[in-house]
Structure 1
């Protein structure tokens, strides 16, 4: 049993999710959408209190090179396809830890206790809802209508229109839950968004480090043939934007991605600091190791429903997210 181990100095767990890149097509013709390089002549519009500088800037051109992607002129609907694999087999997952070897047993027992009390149903409903609503489309989902088709490796196919769960939702949730509980499940996902003929679409944007004179100021994700793509990390982020358990949810009213500190780069805010962070939840589990109880994780519950454990759904969603989740410094 661990001795006063309230931190994990070396802990990493493999993500339960595997996402492919998203491929972008003109829906009716089936042709891939090409990324194009455009030259623009913009204005210099940064803020200044100096009126003379404003006048001077108007006399200076601001040439730019940017990449864009657009539907064909006779196409009004975007199609995005990708695959989502769930593999949550604790026995086969790649888990690294050094400071608390017993953590593997704790994770396995916690997984079984959570599964026994149908906890994965809560996560499955939220993940599935993100797919049904077309959230992985990000900016591309704003239009006149969304359609989603999901083919499951378990032999079923589901159809959803305009972000409505419909009759297939419960069966889809069941397939997602089976993946979270230990089966390997792969979903082929096909999303369409009607946005208007010839409209601009939004692939993922690459981080461009070259800031030279002739640099392209906006670089989009694409394959070797120049076909527009979406990053798998972006798709995964959309699927796990299910955290409404963070302390200020009632104030803000929006879900955030499941992250150790609840980081939201769009709002430059961490919504889970201090005692609300993943590491505080992890510490509570490790404190249980120090408590002297050897019967197993189920005894944490002491006959209570599993959702009475503080932030248990967030904690389990973090384990599904995976990553390097160790802490710095020596054990306390």
Structure 2
């Protein structure tokens, strides 16, 4: 007789990877003693018309010329190193928490008992080693730099443990690690991963990491903070607004963007090994959503989404592969509200 699922209608998990915002500084590659917070600048430019035109306009030379004559005026935020700086420093902290086996909210005692059992079984058997290795590699490869990583001559990542009772530090050459896979073998990455895994597998442990990414991008080169989502830009306002803090508009990156980089570890979705449809490693999401591609790589129709796996697994059923278990636990580390409506 098939086992009936008992899914809680109120179910939430707190995130176990807690990122600060990232702060941007300018410095010199060979002398990093002096760092200067980077500030945003406004720039007004007169661009040309470059958007797609209606057929009536593009097929009429006179109308096309009239459109081209219209000035495309824009005011945008920009950020760049100074003329004597060639290196960007991105600085942030990452707190890792234990206690994944216990939901922060659950209104179904039977479900909570069943989930706690399989979660502890995973923790004892797998020890979060696979997830921790992937998180550690994403720290070491400086994925958190995002666009700032492209075209950088040299990238170095310095990681320090800030826990008073557990002082350690590691330095990584980001170019030693491939962004497309997690097969790298490195003793320092393994040491960092072990520290992360021990915390994730604990009942209530915590680990605080200080992370500094140095990217040699070139003298006075433009760098890229997070861009703000402005719902109503309005007429005459800036067409691009970058994220900043403080009165002097110091440049920064959103904690959400940094978190997305750290949890870009999902290579277990079905299309990953299909050269024509793979997006490489994607961020762990319940439906494998990649917004810039407008696609969900894990759909309920294919029984590859988080909820299909989680409802079976949390009620004691065995998942098809160990990779499916890794994926489910990675979503729980991400955190979220996963209850099922009673209606």
- TM (normalized to structure 1)? 0.88
Tell whether the 8 Å contact from 2:15 to 2:333 is kept in structure 1 after alignment: yes
Contact 1:43 1:62 in 2 (8 A): yes
- For the pair 1:312 / 2:325, whether they are aligned, the reply is yes
**What CA distance in whole angstroms lies between the structure 2 residues aligned with 1:310 and 1:190?**
31
SS in 1 for 2:282: coil
Shift of 1:17: 1.1
SS in 2 for 1:316: helix
Deviant stretches of 4+, over 6 Å? none
Aligned counterpart, 1:95: 104
SS at match of 1:235: helix
- Paired residue for 1:171? 191
Q: Structure 2 CA distance, aligned partners of 1:8 and 1:112?
A: 19
Tell me: CA distance 1:9–1:54, structure 2 relative to 1, closer, same or farther (3 Å).
farther
Structure 2: gaps (5+ residues): 29-33, 178-185
Contact 1:74/1:198 (8 A) holds in 2: yes
How far did 1:205 drift? 0.6
- Which ranges of structure 1 fall in alignment gaps of 5 or more residues? 289-299
Structure 1 equivalent of residue 74 of structure 2: 64
Shift in Å at residue 7 of structure 1?
4.2
Equivalence for 2:221: 199
Give the Cα separation in 1 of the matches to 2:64 and 2:199: 59
Distance 1:43 1:329 in 2: 55
- Summarize the alignment of residues 131-170 of structure 1 with structure 2, pairs less than 5 Å apart: 131-142=139-150, 143-152=152-161, 153=163, 154-164=166-176, 166-170=186-190
Cα distance between partner residues in 2 of 1:39 and 1:322: 41
Structure-2 residue corresponding to 1:280: 308
Matched, 1:243 2:256: no
Q: 1:151 to 1:241 in 2, by over 3 A?
A: same
Q: 1:114 to 1:5 in 2, by over 3 A?
A: closer
Aligned partner of 2:207 among 181, 185, 195: 185
Q: TM-score w.r.t. structure 2 length?
A: 0.85
Q: Relative to structure 2, which stretch is displaced further, 176-185 or 240-249?
A: 176-185
Q: In 1, Cα distance between the equivalents of 2:214 and 2:173?
A: 10
CA distance in 2 between counterparts of 1:184 and 1:286 reads 25
In structure 2, the CA distance between the partners of 1:265 and 1:90, relative to structure 1 (3 Å rule), is closer
Deviation at 1:201, TM superposition (A): 0.5
Aligned length: 311
Alignment CA distance shift 1:86-1:248 (3 Å): same
Secondary structure of 1:38's aligned partner: strand
Superposed displacement of residue 118, structure 1: 2.5
Tell me the residue number matched to 1:107.
115
